[in-house]
């Protein structure tokens, strides 16, 4: 009897201590993780500041010489909204509640760009072809800031330990804080995002904040809200038993299996799982206004081109709905590499431009590596993305696209390819034009004898061929060389002949 009483007493003490600790945790004043020293807030949008505090407590927020007061709801959540502001800073945010106070210093107001995707977006500046030279120069603009949302554990060819597996299951995959722009913070940051932001900052002259949230190897479906995938019967097969679904790329399933091989839970989660990266990385950002998104991803979906097209359109549409406005979305057409399906995938990416408004595509096949899925020429990719933003978002007088095909017309045994803008066509180094092919009525594929005539490309047709389709840069790894006078390449494309 005495032992039982002591046991019950011990349980009560433990329960009291847990309750006390939980109350202390619930009553702690906090800001959402996106708020930290050196951050950038989006200009020209209402500024929402939010966090948690003791349920029912009054929270006071001071910013830009204004003070707002609100009350934490039953779950402890609170938020205030300050009027939109033009660019400027540095400023401070002061938050107080129940004798607790938080100050966020060195805050800028400018343009925030979300930089997302898989390993080619994650690819660090220090590993890029021009990265070491860039870092040695140490020319870092104090009005640029970086937020690298880094995975707590690598999705490389390793088995995770129990602590990492547990955190992944709690959707605690990303950790981050804003950093000033310096050699240390830039070295491990996305090279594509770095060069994008640097060029934007030089041309637009506003503070720039770059948020990197990218996961090597991650498929498109991992960046889409799980409930949206559930609503579409097309994607139902990748949800319930995704580690064995043929709708998920083999490589992704195999790598995830290696990562979670030590898992004890039958329902172990993983960043390649449909919906995971949205919940863990994107959902926490949707209350934080941004200028737009740059995106470099697709390698983990190239095995199923039609499926990716549906997923990608859903991703862009759903992200815009979550933020509440149709921000610009600029993405990279995949590079050249000796792998099947890549030309068809690149062409599908081009066709998505007509389906997704306020979007743009940077061509990169001419920067590829025939054997390496991670080409090191990242400066050109970032700067091509920046040109799209400068022209379309910042309304600068910039040429942002290479030659855009408009139509292919057949007349007198000659096919003339016309382009959307009356621009001067050229090849690099004035070399003979290569990269064009033709498909005959009976399905035969053959190289084409192509030449530039003014602002058109002319293809000569063999006497015994009835041509139905022309293709450009349609080899997996290609040295196709059609450019405009701004030095920008034409995209991979296919087109019916009229």
pLDDT of residue 1: 56
What does residue 453 show for φ and ψ, rounded to 5 degrees?
-130, 100
Report, as an integer, the average pLDDT of 211-240.
93
pLDDT of residue 421: 82
- Containing domain of residue 136, as a range? 109-392
pTM of the model: 0.93
For residue 327, pLDDT beyond 50: yes
**Three-class secondary structure of residue 250 per DSSP:** helix
CB 273 within 8 A of CB 155: no
For residue 228, pLDDT beyond 70: yes
For residue 411, pLDDT beyond 90: no
Query: Is 144 found in the same domain as 75?
Result: no
Q: Does residue 12 lie within any of the structural domains?
A: no
d(CA 359, CA 353): 6
Q: Which tokens in the block code for residue 446?
A: 């053959």
For residue 125, pLDDT beyond 50: yes
Q: Out of 76-90, 230-244, 326-340, 361-375, which region has the weakest mean confidence (pLDDT)?
A: 230-244
pLDDT level of residue 20 (50, 70, 90 thresholds): very low
Going by DSSP bridges, is the β-strand pair 150-151/174-175 parallel, antiparallel, or unpaired?
A: antiparallel
pLDDT of residue 7: 55
pLDDT of residue 72: 98
Query: Is 218 found in the same domain as 145?
Result: yes
pLDDT of residue 478: 97
The CB density around residue 180, as the number of other CB atoms within 10 Å, is: 16
d(CA 253, CA 484): 41
Report, as an integer, the average pLDDT of 448-474.
92
In the chain, % of residues over pLDDT 70:
95
Give the Cα-Cα-Cα angle 90, 95, 99 (nearest 5 degrees): 140
Q: Does residue 23 lie within any of the structural domains?
A: no
DSSP 270-292: -TTSTTHHIIIIIGGGTTS--SE
pLDDT of residue 2: 58
Query: Is 417 found in the same domain as 447?
Result: yes
Q: Does residue 24 lie within any of the structural domains?
A: no
Report, as an integer, the average pLDDT of 158-183.
96
d(CA 345, CA 311): 13
Angstrom CA distances, 128 to 408, 415, 460, 461, stand at 38, 40, 41, 42
- How does the average pLDDT of the chain come out, rounded? 94
Query: Is 223 found in the same domain as 164?
Result: yes
Rg (CA), the chain: 26
Q: What is the CATH number of the domain that holds 349?
A: 3.40.50.1110
Q: Which tokens in the block code for residue 341?
A: 């399906």
Q: What is the CATH number of the domain that holds 97?
A: 2.60.40.10
pLDDT of residue 10: 55
pLDDT level of residue 62 (50, 70, 90 thresholds): very high
Query: Is 383 found in the same domain as 273?
Result: yes
The CB density around residue 455, as the number of other CB atoms within 10 Å, is: 14
The predicted-structure confidence for 368-405, as pLDDT tens digits, reads as follows 999 999 999 999 999 999 999 999 999 999 999 999 99
Q: Which tokens in the block code for residue 172?
A: 């605690």
Give the Cα-Cα-Cα angle 71, 74, 78 (nearest 5 degrees): 40
CB 69 within 8 A of CB 60: yes
Domains: count for the chain? 3
pLDDT of residue 24: 45
Q: Which tokens in the block code for residue 331?
A: 């993405």
pLDDT level of residue 423 (50, 70, 90 thresholds): confident
Query: Is 423 found in the same domain as 376?
Result: no
pLDDT of residue 9: 57
pLDDT of residue 462: 83
For residue 252, pLDDT beyond 50: yes
The predicted-structure confidence for 284-324, as pLDDT tens digits, reads as follows 999 999 999 999 999 999 999 999 999 999 999 999 999 99
Q: Does residue 7 lie within any of the structural domains?
A: no
Q: What is the CATH number of the domain that holds 468?
A: 2.40.10
Query: Is 114 found in the same domain as 75?
Result: no
pLDDT level of residue 21 (50, 70, 90 thresholds): very low
In the chain, % of residues over pLDDT 90:
88
Q: Which residues of 123-152 are buried (b: 16+ CB within 10 A; e: fewer)?
A: bbbeebeebeebbeeeeeeebbbbbbbbbe
CB 41 within 8 A of CB 182: no
d(CA 317, CA 294): 15
pLDDT of residue 18: 45
Q: Among residues 180, 192, 88, 196, which one has the least CA distance to residue 141?
A: 180
d(CA 472, CA 433): 11
Report, as an integer, the average pLDDT of 414-443.
92
Q: Among residues 327, 146, 331, 356, which one has the least CA distance to residue 220?
A: 331
Q: Does residue 2 lie within any of the structural domains?
A: no
pLDDT of residue 294: 98
Report, as an integer, the average pLDDT of 85-102.
97
Report, as an integer, the average pLDDT of 420-440.
92
């Amino acid at each position: 009897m005495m032992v039982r009483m002591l046991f019950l007493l011990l349980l009560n003490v433990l329960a009291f201590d847990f309750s006390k600790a939980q109350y202390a945790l619930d009553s702690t004043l906090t800001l959402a993780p996106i708020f930290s020293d050196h951050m950038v807030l989006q200009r020209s949008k209402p500024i929402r500041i939010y966090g948690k505090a003791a349920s029912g407590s009054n929270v006071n927020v001071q910013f830009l010489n204004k003070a707002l007061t609100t009350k934490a709801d039953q779950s402890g959540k609170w938020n205030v909204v300050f009027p939109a502001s033009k660019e400027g800073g540095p400023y401070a945010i002061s938050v107080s509640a129940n004798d607790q106070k938080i100050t966020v210093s060195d805050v800028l107001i400018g343009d925030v760009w979300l930089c997302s995707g898989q390993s080619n977006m994650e690819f660090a500046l220090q590993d890029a072809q021009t990265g070491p030279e860039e870092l040695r120069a140490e020319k870092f603009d104090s009005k640029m800031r970086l937020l690298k949302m880094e995975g707590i554990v690598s999705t490389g060819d390793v088995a995770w330990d129990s602590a990492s597996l547990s955190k992944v299951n709690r959707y605690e995959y990303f950790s981050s804080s804003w950093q000033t722009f310096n050699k240390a913070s830039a070295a491990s940051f996305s090279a594509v995002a770095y060069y994008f932001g640097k060029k934007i900052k030089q041309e637009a002259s506003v503070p720039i904040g770059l948020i990197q949230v990218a996961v090597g190897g991650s498929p498109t479906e991992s960046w889409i809200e799980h409930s949206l995938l559930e609503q579409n019967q097309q994607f139902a097969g990748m949800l319930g038993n995704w580690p064995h679904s043929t709708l998920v790329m083999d490589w992704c399933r195999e790598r995830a299996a290696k990562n979670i091989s030590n898992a004890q839970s039958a329902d172990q989660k993983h960043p390649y799982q449909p919906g995971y990266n949205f919940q863990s990385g994107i959902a926490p950002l949707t209350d934080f206004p941004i200028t737009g998104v740059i995106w470099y991803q697709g390698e983990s979906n190239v095995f199923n081109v039609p499926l990716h097209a549906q997923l990608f359109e859903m991703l862009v549409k759903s992200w815009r709905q979550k933020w509440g406005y149709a921000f610009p979305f600029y993405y990279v057409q995949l590079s050249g590499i000796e792998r099947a399906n890549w030309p068809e995938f690149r062409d599908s990416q081009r066709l998505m431009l007509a389906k997704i408004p306020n979007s743009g595509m940077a061509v990169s096949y001419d920067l590829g590596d025939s054997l390496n899925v991670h080409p090191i020429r990242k400066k050109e990719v970032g700067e091509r993305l920046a040109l799209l933003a400068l022209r379309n978002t910042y309304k600068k007088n910039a040429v942002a696209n290479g030659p855009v095909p408009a139509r292919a017309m057949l007349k007198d045994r000659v096919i003339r390819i016309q382009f959307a803008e009356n621009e001067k066509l050229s090849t690099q180094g004035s070399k003979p034009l290569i990269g064009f092919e033709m498909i005959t009525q009976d399905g035969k594929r053959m190289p084409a004898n192509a030449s530039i005539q003014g602002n058109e490309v002319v293809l000569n047709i063999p006497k015994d061929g009835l041509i139905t389709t022309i293709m450009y840069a349609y080899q997996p790894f290609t040295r196709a060389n059609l450019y405009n006078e701004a030095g920008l390449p034409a995209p991979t494309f296919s087109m019916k002949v009229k």
